[in-house]
A and B are shown apart, each in its own frame.
Chain A
């Protein structure tokens, strides 16, 4: 059951095979044109592949996979490159398979509320295409303008609305998948479940390690009649945390429930002028949606709860324009914080909600320890915490401190009963932290699952799950990356 020890394939051999499959403009072989593909949105990890392939049809993808399988060449699939865990970073001895060109919406069935789309279609394009039917696609990661649905499946993307509407895994019905051998198989169905193992769940969030998705059938939701945002400032993080618990305890599942800390509030307000309270230590944005009657009744309850629990300021959106403006600050939070330093490093642990105060206090102490500022943006409804560590990537010392700071936050997340990644994925970035989360026996089983789909370990090697049992000397990524 050992992986083959194949020597790296000569680049010429590989290129000859690929040129027989793809027209010239679909292959990038020189460093200059490959440069934009050297990393995903976690830019501190960079690598150039042997070749970038930009297929335009499913058949081309299939043939590329077949050839790579025969030659034992690693394949890294990539969508829009908005990922945040270096999951789409190229392999230096492999093919970077860019699926962005497969960007067709194949079919929309408004009555059945489904859409069949190619993997390169952007998340937002799906909602835009079905809006005239009064429908939309639920998961809305903050990169939704750019990120592709194929990448969403690979990462099991969430967004600000997932407490109520679920993650990618809850909003897809079927996948057309190519195995590492290039075999095409349908996973899931047009029904709500399928016989046999739930390979749809297994594939979702598998980070391109188990197969290549070439078509996705998504479920669509009716657009709510109305939505309203309640913004509240608090003079402590713990007061805001209590207010979050109170909303849930009142039996309300908000469409979105976001928290930001002082530094994030100020950065967002400087950037977006959304009307956030600059003097608050913490801010909550709570969106309720549904029928008009439901929204009116829920937003009154939420505003009253916030007042009761010591909110220092409250704004309830009066119309759509104000609702959009209140969200604007939160949606710009990452780039806004990004202006405070040359670079920022976004963490993604999930914690039990009741631990938020403890965790933020500990993060603040770590910020002192490492001498790096941190702003916190929190999907408070589902416990997913995004500390943004500010640093300067041109200083190797700061990079090291930022990485260590991040690692400490993840260890802390596990310690309080949470996990190392809520929605960004493990990729290359959190490979080391997998052993905080899982025992050796658990890691061995994850490795066996990888092996079940990809016996030669050529799909996105060196990412997602550590390979411990099987020798992987050749497959492993080089220990050094360009930032070292």
Chain B
């Protein structure tokens, strides 16, 4: 339980006065993921930790950004609650701030929302070192622009998160996993059909010729639905989802480039060679291998979304598609508003930011 916000503010103000670039890091679990290499003096948020307020009956938890996610999850579990977006805990290294900054969300995302969806408010340090509060600790708040959710996925380029308030939810009473042997195209169709039916679906993934569906909720509802949906009841299903969430399945091992496609859930399976994993009920596809970035971009765009180089490959190059001129202009102006001297994680998201 240490509040390091004053010290971090001073570091930022000092860096601003020298136009010194800062690289923001928490537990270092995502250093090699999502973002481009970022030169700069390290500003660590690790140690700026502690749960500040947690009222189970309010479904809201507020903690300092450097709090290890594992600590938060443990506190929630004691009250029968959870982070519904199932972020990876990264062997205890994931922090609340890093999770929000990367919008890190697990298998339940299509049904239970993302990290971004659960953000209710943030306290952040802008590029001048000013401590600012946006959003709050209540479920509904439309006062001012939604600066809080804007931080999700911004990779720290719009501010150093100091505190975050999240909506939390009760843990489901019961979960089970159904598995079916089928090819990718059939699995995509099945996932989408199931997701369109009322039922306690909470995960849908395809890997190595098998479709995995997870049901979570009231025991009566889960059992009743499982009886109708058939398939093989997987013993140890919880482990599968945990390994998917933590990206510790064998699919994710090794140094080969890992590509992430965020696309329309019904898009046909990508025609690229190499291993593929389908998650989020079809809306998130993972590919491995030395693939052609431009070709992947075209395929993803055709499927209504985008491709990013999530891990591996050249971390100094372009990892995500270049925005169109208007979007780029809006990004540049927003960056200017939050971080006029461009000292926070320069280049981490795009080379021009």
Contacts and interface: CB of A to CB of B under 8 A. Distances in A.
Interface string B89-116: 0000000000000010000011001101
B220 A293 contact: yes
Contacts of B132: 439, 441-442, 445
Contacts of B233: none
Interface in B196-229: 196-200, 217-218, 220-221, 223-225
A36 interface: no
B169 A253 contact: yes
Given A170-B113, A198-B149, A291-B200, A163 B139 contact: yes
A195 interface: yes
Contact of B266 (A112, A204, A294, A298): A112
B349 interface: yes
Interface in B122-155: 126, 130, 132-134, 136-147, 149-150, 152-154
B329 to A, nearest CB: 9
A185 B103 contact: no
A109 B266 contact: yes
B263 interface: yes
A206 B145 contact: yes
A158 B153 CA distance: 24
Interface string B172-202: 0100000000000000010011011111100
Interface of B: 55-60, 80, 103, 109-110, 113-114, 116-117, 126, 130, 132-134, 136-147, 149-150, 152-154, 158, 169-171, 173, 189, 192-193, 195-200, 217-218, 220-221, 223-225, 261-266, 280, 283-284, 303-306, 308, 320-321, 323-324, 326-327, 330-331, 333-334, 336-338, 349-350
A190 B333 contact: no
A435 to B, nearest CB: 11
Contact of A191 (B147, B306, B324): B306
Contacts of B133: 438-439, 442
A232 to B, nearest CB: 18
A179 B326 contact: yes
B156 to A, nearest CB: 12
A193 B265 CA distance: 12
> What are the 8 A-B residue pairs with the smallest beta carbon separation, nearest first?
A190-B304, A191-B305, A452-B333, A293-B220, A448-B337, A422-B140, A382-B139, A201-B149
Contacts of B337: 445, 448-449, 451-452
Contacts of A222: 195-199
A422 B218 CA distance: 30
B146 A205 contact: yes
Q: Which one of B58, B134, B143 has the highest number of Cβ atoms from chain A below 10 Å of its Cβ?
A: B143
